[in-house]
Amino acid sequence: MYTANDSNVVQSHGKIIQERFDVPVRSKCIPDQPLGIYDDESEKAAIPKIVEMGVQLEQEGCRLLIVSCAADPGVEALRSRVSVPVIGGGSAASLVARSLGEPVGLMGITEGVPPVMSSLLEDLVAGYIRPDGVTNTTDLLTDAGREAALEAARTLVSQGAKAIVFACTGLSTIAFADVIRKELHIPVIDPVDAEGLLAANYYKQLEGI
């Protein structure tokens, strides 16, 4: 979701969905936000860009839109402007996590749980944590950021979490779910996987599969 010049980063979420769920994806990132969405101000700046981009993608023939950010920025506004389904990363991850029926720990880069996730998970939230020193998406690309994220996951487990839910898709970009699963032997709900799961279901209906 953050502005990136590296095409591999731009395409990373779409590549995950294509490879794991066999859904064709076109990926675009919002312009002029090199640190992504990390607080209310950056989200407010991003929403009109997301809506404009989504409208354009529908006009270009896309039949499903995914806003790959755990805050679901612009999702409701975009739904009012397009005729195709719109999936948000935060709501997708929360719905998958709710199906577990177990206490979950959320890890993100904002000061608190994204409202869309808090409203869907409610009493299942065992705790929320922002990794030490991580204040925006790019911090997760560093060795220090990764180590802080792993320590944050350990803390959530100590607080009673039976699963970890990413409240930031930057953790998806660095494929951190597999790290936590290997180190802590606990389920991890990755929003990009959750987006892909929902998108695949809809795509198969469209294609009559």
CATH class label, 91-190: alpha beta
The half-sphere exposure of 108 on its side-chain side, counting CA atoms within 13 A, is: 26
Q: Binning pLDDT at 50, 70 and 90, where does residue 9 land?
A: low
Beta carbons within 8 Å of 131's beta carbon, 6+ residues apart: 107, 109, 140, 145, 148, 149, 151, 152
Mean pLDDT score of the chain: 92
pTM of the model: 0.89
pLDDT at res. 3: 46
Q: For 156-197, what is each residue's pLDDT tens digit?
A: 999 999 999 999 998 998 899 999 999 999 999 999 999 999
- What whole-number distance in Å separates Cα of residue 185 and Cα of residue 54? 38
Evaluate if residue 4 carries a pLDDT over 70.
Answer: no
Location of each CATH 3.40.50.1860 domain in the chain: 7-89+194-207, 91-190
Percentage, residues of the chain above pLDDT 70: 95
Q: What is the pLDDT of residues 114-160, one digit of tens each?
A: 999 999 999 999 999 999 999 888 888 899 999 999 999 999 999 99
Which CATH code fits 7-89+194-207?
A: 3.40.50.1860
